[in-house]
């Protein structure tokens, strides 16, 4: 696979872990160092401990979050990768940025931020193919 394909696959794995409530997978996805996360409406979380604690709460909450992603665009510069996509969370559209670093050949997440898009959006029945930039 190309760098961009691998990055898009890593991004899909993030949303699979999220949608499936798979905390073990989520902790493997996040890198060890230099990590930050901004959940919608939250202040920034910095450091793996605070971030994983937030995901534990979200993934193990009473109500599983319905989340999907679409319009993934990958930007790769060496071992630094970024995916911009639209998250559909409980029917609402969010603009999400997922930053990755390639560590020992695997793309690990180093930053996540999702913020509400003002315009309403409908979840498509089949997601369009991801775009790739390089």
Residue 112: what are its φ and ψ, rounded to 5°? -140, 135
Q: Tell me if 39 sits within 8 A of 54, measured CB to CB.
A: yes
Decide: is 118 part of the binding site for its own copies (CB under 8 A): yes
Least distance to its own copies, CB of residue 20, Å: 25
The residue range among 4-12, 13-21, 42-50, 53-61 that interacts with its own copies, by the rule CB under 8 A, is: 42-50
Convert residues 74-93 into a mask of x (bound to its own copies by CB under 8 A) and - (unbound): -xxx--x-x-x-x-------
Rounded distance, CA 100 to CA 103, Å? 9
Rounded distance, CA 134 to CA 126, Å? 25
Cβ distance to its own copies smaller for residue 9 or 133:
133
Decide: is 116 part of the binding site for its own copies (CB under 8 A): yes
């Amino acid at each position: 696979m190309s760098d961009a394909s691998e990055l898009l696959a890593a991004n899909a794995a993030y949303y699979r872990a999220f949608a499936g409530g798979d905390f073990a997978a989520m902790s493997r996805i996040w890198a060890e160092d230099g990590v930050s996360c901004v959940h919608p409406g939250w202040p920034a979380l910095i450091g793996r401990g605070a971030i994983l604690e937030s995901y534990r709460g979200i993934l193990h909450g009473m109500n599983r979050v319905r989340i999907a992603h679409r319009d993934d665009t990958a930007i790769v510069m060496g071992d630094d990768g970024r995916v911009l996509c639209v998250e559909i969370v409980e029917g609402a559209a969010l603009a999400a940025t997922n930053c990755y670093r390639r560590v020992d050949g695997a793309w690990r997440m180093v930053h996540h931020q999702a913020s509400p898009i003002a315009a309403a959006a409908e979840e498509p029945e089949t997601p369009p193919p991801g775009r790739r930039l390089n």
